[in-house]
Structure 1
Amino acid sequence: MELLIEHRPVNGYVVYGFPWLAGVSLARRMALRASLTEYRRIHGLQLSGVFKGRRAATEPSPTAFTDLLDASALSDVYGVIVPGLSHLGPKHLPAERTGLVEATGARLLMARRPRIRSGHVPRQQAAHRRFPAPLLALSTES
């Protein structure tokens, strides 16, 4: 999964969003929208559309996801932003759907990285960061 566009040559910065909204409250929908918008803004991306999944995520090919794949296959699309992997479906579906998105030539971008439980890392590293810190480019020429 690609997290930053600054490290790859691209023709454009067109992305599509894909939040899963089945059974989600209005407050949660607004938070998901804000998450996608903020990620787009920070990374200088153009959010050209949002495909909203509203039916059972276990359907073999929900209409919203199929439409997302069709749009992602366009030549000027950089990637697809999801709030988190859980928005691609339960259990085995995120891995399968990640492959389907990447097969179109688009990158899968996560607006929020998975949280790390504090019991698995030292206390000073347990703080959750919403977006990764920018990487510094180092020159290899002398």
Structure 2
Amino acid sequence: MNGKKRNVGGKSPKPDKVCHPVMVRFTDEEYARFLAMYEQSGVYAKAVFIKARVFGAEFRVLKIDKTLVDYYTKLASLHAQFRAVGVNYNQTVKELKSRFSEKKAMALLYRLEKQTVELVALSRQILALTNEFQTQWLPKLT
């Protein structure tokens, strides 16, 4: 072989192999507290969670409130529907002018205008609720 290593295949060894296991025993109460902390952390493995606690890594708890996510999603979809109404508004006005007499078109446009005023008020409420939601519930980026 002239001093060369044969290629045997397989996985190459890790440079910093983990080979020193440590055992911890908990009482029932301690284990319940440990599991609660582990689940709140969102870490994928208990061993990783324990190592992070032992070596003083920052402990973060990420909680996702499903109701807030649903609220924000519905608010965003409502805003998207409102924009769609705005797109259709222009087409509606063109069709009213081309399909009806001027008197009938003006009467229908008057009703459409009243509905538009209500939509504008609703849009302002949507924006106010969105801003309030963002300031109250979303974390600040700093």
Provide TM-score, normalisation by structure 2. Answer: 0.19
Higher Rg of the two aligned structures: 2
The structure in which a higher percent of residues are helix is: 2
The structure in which a higher percent of residues are strand is: 1
Provide TM-score, normalisation by structure 1. Answer: 0.19
